[in-house]
């Protein structure tokens, strides 16, 4: 074991105190790389702001110079590189202008190209990092900062902005700005900012800057003040105007002249200081340590899984043998008795039928039965025996068992759980949760944005059309009815079957009952599981305390794992 190093003083000057200068010299020689992307609707002044920030004409504003000119749009994602030198420091600046998103009638996946661009840069970096003979210095195109332009409506964020900001904040440091804030009065600006911050909290959008354990008090305070200022209300201009005889960067408008660089007029200066003076290095570090790292570990993990494929998750072991818990299911017709008991069944794969809808399961099943498949015990799996003399091949389709997954009632301590796992309190709690969710969708359709994570990508962009909101609420009603029926469980078949007719729009667009079930389950689990009690549910149940108290307690009350298995969420892959 090494003895702890004793601090000694050098007898004569060694010179390693110059290491800081050596590092500085090296860094200066290499220069710094800073990559920014601008995102927002067309015409909000993205190109203009970039030019204003760096006080040099870096990219053409596509705005009109003459009022009769048509608006020229930025049509592709387009990086522009510039080297800026200040007091011997070289900053290589990449600015990526993006076409306005959300301009179209159909905004389906309009944010995909932007997210893809950001991820592509991570991926290019990772590739270089992984090549054996890697360059000592990797050219860094990873995006360090995303300026997100908000329309200065003064009301609230568009639903699509919330979705896009959320998506972006998962992959990049997002810094929101209120565009063209000269169109709002100071009071309107402040109110708008408060509203936006509240919405971001509500939708759980985690924005830059993040506090880390390494931060000292001063940095924490600085970050706090930034968070209290976000979104920066900015004005951009590429032209100079004369104020008090001096030429300054500004704009003339109906009310007078705005000096872009005057803190009393707008927050442009705060934004510039934040980007270049106080947080430049932190933006770069955060990108590498948080966003890139998350991307990297996910990629490496995926790579590992590719080389080590797991057969049919949850159903079979690595050799394709059915797992024991599937063999111990309740007996069906017994036609596969031998194989089940001796573990001879091999799980091959599920066959995915295009455009499958839960409501059509019976039709699918009858199709398989016609082809000789019979039910495995009472599970929702159908199996086929090659041997025409096999008992399953002699069993008439009409006599085949029906699906009723029954898990061992081991966990149940009340003896009243439906199917041995769905306790009365779990049922009542989920019912409450679903009612609250439906009420929220009804009162405030915007809140259905919270479904986003559970929905397939193509449904996300139409999420806030009234039709989809109605459809979602109709599916939630199916869940509620399934919970209300004492002998049913809210599985996909029951939820889809009991949903109000408006739900059809959701199912026809590829939505599945699972997407809604997942959201309800997750909300319930997040709200209750940690506490280890049902306190949260007890808060929302005012008015029927007595009924609640009368419900039997069971060890399964908060067993969300069992619930997920029972209703099939465990095996259903969201997205």
3-state secondary structure of 88: coil
Burial class from Cβ neighbours inside 10 Å (0-12, 13-18, 19+) for residue 80 reads: middle
Report the distance separating Cα 555 and Cα 80, nearest Å: 61
Residue 45 binding partner per list Mg ion, ligand GDP, none, with a CB distance cut-off of 5 to 8 Å that depends on partner kind: ligand GDP
Task: CB nearer to Mg ion: give 72 or 298.
Answer: 72
In a 13 Å sphere around the CA of 190, the CA atoms on its Cβ side amount to 2
Interface contacts to Mg ion, rule CB under 5 A:
46-47, 62, 74
Residue 291 binding partner per list ligand GDP, Mg ion, none, with a CB distance cut-off of 5 to 8 Å that depends on partner kind: none
Task: CB nearer to ligand GDP: give 253 or 540.
Answer: 253
The CA-based angle 372-374-378, given to 5 degrees, is 170
Task: CB nearer to ligand GDP: give 99 or 478.
Answer: 99
CA distances from 515 to 393, 454, 482, 506 (A): 36, 5, 16, 10
Q: How far is the CB of 529 from ligand GDP (least distance, A)?
A: 44
Report the distance separating Cα 516 and Cα 451, nearest Å: 7
Task: Judge contact between 90 and 100, C-beta under 8 A.
Answer: no
Report the distance separating Cα 274 and Cα 117, nearest Å: 24
**Token couple for 443:** 């009162």
Nearest to 558 by CA among 433, 425, 434: 425
Q: How many residues does the chain have?
A: 575
3-state secondary structure of 164: helix
Q: How far is the CB of 149 from ligand GDP (least distance, A)?
A: 7
Q: How far is the CB of 230 from ligand GDP (least distance, A)?
A: 17
**Token couple for 5:** 């190093």
Residue 43 binding partner per list Mg ion, ligand GDP, none, with a CB distance cut-off of 5 to 8 Å that depends on partner kind: ligand GDP
Task: CB nearer to ligand GDP: give 72 or 458.
Answer: 72
Interface contacts to ligand GDP, rule CB under 6 A:
42-48, 61-64, 74, 100, 180, 182-183, 235-236, 251, 253
Instruction: Give the nearest residue (CB) to ligand GDP.
Output: 63
Residue 236 binding partner per list Mg ion, ligand GDP, none, with a CB distance cut-off of 5 to 8 Å that depends on partner kind: ligand GDP
Q: How far is the CB of 275 from ligand GDP (least distance, A)?
A: 17
Task: CB nearer to Mg ion: give 63 or 311.
Answer: 63
Q: How far is the CB of 114 from Mg ion (least distance, A)?
A: 14
Nearest to 177 by CA among 166, 165, 167, 163: 165
Residue 63 binding partner per list ligand GDP, Mg ion, none, with a CB distance cut-off of 5 to 8 Å that depends on partner kind: ligand GDP
Q: How far is the CB of 72 from ligand GDP (least distance, A)?
A: 8
Report the distance separating Cα 256 and Cα 126, nearest Å: 51
Longest dimension (CA), the chain: 101
Task: CB nearer to Mg ion: give 46 or 166.
Answer: 46
Residue 565 binding partner per list ligand GDP, Mg ion, none, with a CB distance cut-off of 5 to 8 Å that depends on partner kind: none
Residue 182 binding partner per list Mg ion, ligand GDP, none, with a CB distance cut-off of 5 to 8 Å that depends on partner kind: ligand GDP
Q: How far is the CB of 91 from Mg ion (least distance, A)?
A: 22
Q: How far is the CB of 188 from ligand GDP (least distance, A)?
A: 14
Task: CB nearer to ligand GDP: give 267 or 446.
Answer: 267
Task: CB nearer to Mg ion: give 74 or 173.
Answer: 74
Residue 64 binding partner per list Mg ion, ligand GDP, none, with a CB distance cut-off of 5 to 8 Å that depends on partner kind: ligand GDP
Task: Judge contact between 132 and 305, C-beta under 8 A.
Answer: no
Task: Judge contact between 496 and 358, C-beta under 8 A.
Answer: yes
């Amino acid at each position: 074991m090494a003895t702890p190093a004793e601090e000694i003083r050098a007898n004569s000057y060694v010179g390693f105190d110059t290491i800081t200068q050596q590092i500085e010299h090296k860094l200066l020689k290499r220069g710094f790389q800073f990559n920014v992307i601008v995102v927002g609707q067309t015409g909000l002044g993205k190109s203009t702001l970039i030019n204003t920030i760096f006080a040099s004409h870096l990219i053409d504003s596509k705005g009109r110079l003459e009022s009769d000119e048509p608006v020229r749009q930025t049509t592709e994602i387009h990086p522009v590189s510039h080297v800026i030198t200040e007091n011997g420091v070289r900053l290589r600046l990449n600015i990526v202008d993006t076409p306005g998103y959300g301009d179209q009638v159909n905004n389906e996946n309009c944010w995909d190209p932007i997210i893809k661009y950001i991820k592509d840069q991570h991926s290019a970096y990772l590739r270089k990092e992984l090549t054996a003979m890697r360059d000592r210095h990797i050219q860094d195109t990873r995006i360090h900062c995303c300026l997100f332009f908000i329309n200065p409506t003064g009301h609230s964020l568009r639903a699509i902005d919330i979705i896009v900001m959320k998506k972006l904040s998962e992959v990049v440091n997002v810094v929101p700005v209120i565009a063209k804030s000269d169109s709002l009065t100071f009071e309107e600006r402040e109110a708008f900012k408060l509203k936006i911050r509240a919405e971001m909290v509500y939708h759980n959008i985690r924005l830059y800057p993040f506090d880390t354990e390494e931060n000292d008090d001063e940095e924490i305070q600085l970050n706090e003040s930034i968070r209290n200022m976000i979104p920066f209300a900015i004005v951009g201009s590429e032209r100079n105007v004369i104020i008090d005889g001096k030429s300054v960067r500004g704009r003339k408008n109906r009310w007078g002249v705005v000096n872009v660089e005057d803190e009393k007029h707008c927050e442009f200066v705060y934004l510039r200081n934040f980007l270049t003076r106080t947080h430049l290095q932190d933006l770069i570090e955060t990108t590498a340590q948080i966003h890139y790292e998350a991307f990297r570990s996910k990629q490496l993990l995926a790579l590992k899984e590719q080389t080590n494929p797991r057969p049919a998750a949850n159903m079979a072991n690595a050799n394709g043998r059915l797992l024991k818990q599937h063999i111990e299911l309740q007996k069906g017709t017994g036609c596969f008795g031998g194989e089940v008991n001796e573990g001879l069944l091999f799980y091959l794969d599920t066959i995915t039928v295009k455009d499958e809808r839960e409501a059509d399961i019976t039709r699918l099943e009858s199709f398989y039965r016609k082809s000789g498949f019979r039910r495995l015990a009472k599970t929702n799996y159908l199996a086929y025996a090659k041997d025409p003399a096999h008992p399953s091949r002699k069993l008439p389709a009409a006599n085949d068992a029906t699906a009723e997954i029954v898990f061992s009632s081991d966990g149940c301590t009340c003896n009243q759980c439906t199917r041995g796992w769905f306790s009365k309190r779990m049922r009542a709690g989920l019912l409450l949760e679903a009612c609250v969710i439906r009420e929220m969708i009804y009162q405030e359709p915007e809140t259905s944005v919270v479904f986003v994570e559970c929905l397939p990508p193509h449904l996300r962009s139409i999420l806030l059309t009234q039709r989809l909101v109605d459809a979602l609420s109709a599916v939630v009603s199916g869940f509620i009815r399934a919970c209300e029926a004492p002998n049913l469980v809210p599985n996909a078949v029951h939820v889809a079957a009991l949903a109000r007719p408006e739900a059809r729009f959701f199912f026809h667009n590829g939505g599945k009952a699972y997407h809604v079930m997942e959201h309800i389950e997750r909300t319930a689990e997040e709200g209750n599981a940690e506490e280890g009690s049902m306190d949260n549910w007890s808060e929302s149940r005012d008015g029927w305390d007595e009924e609640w108290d009368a419900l039997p307690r069971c060890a399964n009350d908060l067993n969300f794992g069992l619930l997920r298995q029972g209703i099939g969420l465990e095996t259903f892959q969201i997205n």
